[in-house]
Amino acid sequence: MARVPGRPCIVSPHRRRHVTGNDDFPEYSPLPPETKAAPATERGHASTLRTLAPYLWPKGEGGLKARVVIALALMLLAKGANVLVPIVYARAVDALTPKQGAAAMVAIPIALVLGYGLLRVASSWFAELRDAVFVRVQARAARVIALQVFHHLHALSLRFHLDRQTGGLSRMIERGTKGINFVLDYMVFSIIPTLLEVLMVALILWGMFDWSFAVVTLVTIGLYIAFTLVFTDWRLRFRRAMNEMDQDANTKAVDSLLNYETVKYFGNEKHEERRYDASLARYEGAYIRSEVTLNYLNMGQAAIIALGLTAVMLMAARGVQNGSMTVGDFVLVNTYLIQLYLPLNFLGFVYRELKQGLVDMEAMFTLMREEREVADAPGAIPLPPGPGALELENVRFGYRPDRIILKGISVSVPPGKTLAIVGPTGAGKSTISRLLFRFYDAQGGAIRIDGHDIRQVTQDSLRAAIGVVPQDTVLFNDTIRYNIAYGRPGATDAEIEQAAKLAQVHDFVLRLPDGYNTRVGERGLKLSGGEKQRVAIARTILKDPRILILDEATSALDTRTEQEIQAALRGVSAGRTTLVIAHRLSTVVEADEIIVLADGRIAERGSHMALMAQDGLYAQMWRRQSEAVAAAEAAAAAQEAAREAGVAP
């Protein structure tokens, strides 16, 4: 079969397998907390197997445990039938061999031939039944582990996800789950049964003939296994390098495709292609080295098996010649060794895949041991119902020790009132919303909702009480209905449509050919900025939070769209405690209180009129923005006048 050079796959890699040889390729307890995260190569494989073991024997899953026991019994039956096949075959050959001086024609040993066929069928059937019984255990374990990883990744802090690259992370999880499937599938029912069969064959040869047959067989197999393990450990470095290059290429591809618009804006398609091709070239080099060393491994294995087979056959031929063995015995020895050759050859493949699977699993389990930066406090309670009073008391926070963002912020927002936070870029406006949502924990002071410190309540209940309309609304690549219903999964169609009406998006949706079943595309790219914002407002309405955060919700929109969105937002925030984070001061003039941040502190506070009267930082910002708006309007008017006069393009 011709070999096709491998390459990194952006979405779902398919590793080829050489069937003849050695190609590379309820409620469960959480992972033990005492084991801290470490590089995958530094953790022992034994530790990884101990981590995996509970999923093979899950607590409270009697049905799955019974399947494991039945599968092991079927494995023993399959191997027992398999080692009997050469014996029956040899006796049939003896029965068909004319004795010295006997007639040339002998009776056909029907019983032996039928027995041979039945043993062949039994061996195959028991093996297939074993796989059929065990597959539910394998599938359930892979499903539970994948779900645990998914859950844990969502529980990790925002800092972790900002520091990691999504493409590389997804590929690490993908390889880890594939490693689990392989280990569960082959470890119990390939390596152990093969070694068991080898021992059974050695004992049979010793018992039937002589200890020398068993010794040669075991030495041959021992050399084969030792050579395979040592050589595989040496060439594993090339597989690791190949995986690293594969992950790097996948990360670059995913990152580029996720930023499709930015690539187009700057015409950098060729630049992205060069970056991706550089990763592919490194992968190509690692892949070639891996494949060439695989050829050397196959050659060495074939030489060891051939030498062992030749030695045993010579011993058997001498036995036939001196009359201590029959022709059937000669066939039996040959059949046993050939029968062992295939699983032994497969054992080399299994070992390499098992080793790589363990490495990939170690990397994934390391993710599961990543400590949560923000976790529920011991004894945390759900946030009790309340009107939504918000208080920040001397809040201090910095993303790094040498970069303090908030330097003692204190402010109170009565229930149902609106607080606006303004200030220059980097003043800490959005940081306050992240602290309120507990993406990070304040390093000093306290944040309270209805008198409860948010660090003493569960994160789920806290986030259920807060609704956010962000500046950059990212929608799921699904329908408009799904994206609105995301605010409260399980909402009825009537509730979804009512939320859409309040967000002033219902009429727009009805004009679409597919209505609420219209798909919005990757990150909602098929909708305009204003349409995406309205969908975001609708799903926040459906969530019905007691506290609403508007984080630069209209800063990226044109003036007319901004006015329409503002009208929808006023309806949403009515009666709710609202936190408005804004750059455009025109959007906060109706706020009950405005605080102006500067250098991590509150520089000014008050209503719009009071701040204008102070003629301080807020008033200066207002005048600059007003002048900018006036200049833009004047330029637009001049351009329109010129166009009407026929002097502008």
Span 209-260, pLDDT tens digits: 878 888 888 888 888 888 887 887 787 778 778 878 887 888 888 888 878 8
d(CA 130, CA 446): 59
- What strands lie across the sheet with 452-453, from one edge to the other? 403-413, 390-400, 444-449, 452-453
* Same domain (yes/no): 412, 549: yes
- Domain residue limits at 78: 40-368
Q: Verify that 360 and 405 share a domain, yes or no.
A: no
Q: How many whole angstroms separate alpha carbon 469 and alpha carbon 348?
A: 56
Neighbouring C-beta atoms of residue 135, cutoff 10 Å? 14
| CA 342 and chain centroid, separation | 35
374 part of a folded domain: no
Distance of CA 522 to the CA centre of its chain: 19
Confirm whether 639 is domain-assigned. no
Predicted local distance difference test score (pLDDT) of residue 193: 79
Q: Say whether pLDDT at 126 is over 60.
A: yes
pLDDT at 70 over 60: yes
Sorted by sequence, the CB contacts under 8 Å of residue 21 that are 6+ apart come out as 298, 301, 345, 348, 349
Question: What integer best gives the mean pLDDT of the chain?
Answer: 77
CA angle 41–44–50, rounded 5-degree value:
130
Distance set, CA 641 to CA 560, 628, 644, 647 (Å): 20, 20, 5, 9
Q: At residue 647, does pLDDT exceed 70?
A: no
pLDDT of residue 18: 35
pLDDT at res. 643: 73
Domain assignment present for 432: yes
Residue 649 pLDDT > 60: no
Q: Is the dihedral of CA 291, 292, 293, 297 positive or negative?
A: positive
Tell me the β-bridge partners of 412: 391
Look up residue 196 and give its amino acid. L
Q: What 3-state class would DSSP assign to 323?
A: coil
**Of 27 and 521, more confident:** 521
> What is the residue-wise DSSP string for 125-177?
HHHHHHHHHHHHHHHHHHHHHHHHHHHHHHHS-HHHHHHS-HHHHHHHHHHHH
The total number of structural domains in the chain stands at: 2
Tell whether 141 and 289 lie within a shared domain.
Answer: yes
From 32-46, 52-66, 85-99, 176-190, the region with the lowest mean pLDDT: 32-46
Whether residue 387 is predicted with pLDDT greater than 80 in this model: the reply is: yes
The pLDDT-based confidence of 394 (bands split at 50, 70, 90) is: very high
**Is residue 30 pLDDT above 60, yes or no?**
no
Max mean pLDDT range (7-11, 112-116, 165-169, 191-195): 112-116
Q: Are residues 400 and 335 in the same domain?
A: no
Q: Are 320 and 444 in the same domain?
A: no
State yes or no: pLDDT of 115 exceeds 70: yes
The strand pairing partners of 421, in sequence order, are: 581, 595
Q: Region 32-53: what's the mean pLDDT? A: 53
In a domain, 30, yes or no: no
d(CA 402, CA 163): 18
What is the predicted pLDDT for the residue at 395? 92
Instruction: Determine the Cα–Cα distance for residues 594 and 599; give it in Å rounded to an integer.
Output: 16
**Residues 245, 286 contacting (CB under 8 angstroms):** yes
Stated pTM of the model = 0.59
Q: Flag the least confident range among 10-14, 315-319, 492-496, 508-512.
A: 10-14
Instruction: Look at 162 and 326; give whichever has higher pLDDT.
Output: 326
Please check the confidence at residue 340 and state whether its pLDDT lies above 80: no
What is the pLDDT at residue 250? Answer: 84
Residue 102 pLDDT > 60: no
Structural element, H or E, at residue 581: strand 577-581
Is residue 83 a part of any domain in this protein? Answer: yes
Whether residue 156 is found in the same domain as residue 217 = yes
| pLDDT > 90: percent of the chain | 5
- Mean pLDDT over 58-69 rounds to 74
In a domain, 304, yes or no: yes
* Of 560 and 31, the one with more pLDDT: 560
Lowest mean pLDDT among 170-174, 336-340, 465-469: 170-174
Instruction: Kindly report the CATH number assigned to the domain that includes residue 114.
Output: 1.20.1560.10
* Residue 346 sits in the same domain as residue 408: no
- Does a structural domain hold residue 628? no
Mean pLDDT over residues 92-107, rounded?
A: 61
pLDDT of residue 289: 84
pLDDT at 99: 63
| Residue ranges with strand state E in 325-417 | 390-400, 403-413
pLDDT at 523: 62
CA distance 454 to 442: 10
Distance CA 177, CA 145 (A): 8
Q: Are strands 403-413 and 390-400 parallel, antiparallel or unpaired?
A: antiparallel
- Residue 258 counted as domain residue: yes
pLDDT of residue 561: 62
**Mean pLDDT for the stretch of residues 346-352:** 69
Using alpha carbons, list the distances in angstroms from residue 348 to 24, 228, 379, 422, 610: 10, 6, 51, 65, 80
CATH of the domain at 579: 3.40.50.300
Asked which of 165-179, 264-278, 592-606 is least confident by mean pLDDT, the reply is: 165-179
Are 361 and 485 within one domain?
Answer: no
**Residue 354 and residue 412 in one domain:** no
Question: What token pair was written down for 60?
Answer: 């409270």
Is the same domain home to 59 and 124? yes
Give the residue-averaged pLDDT of 478-499: 88
Residue 309: what pLDDT? Answer: 81
Residues 174 and 253 in one domain: yes
Reference 428, options 452, 409, 414, 401; nearest CA is: 409
424 and 455 belong to one structural domain: yes
The reported pLDDT for the residue numbered 5 is 36
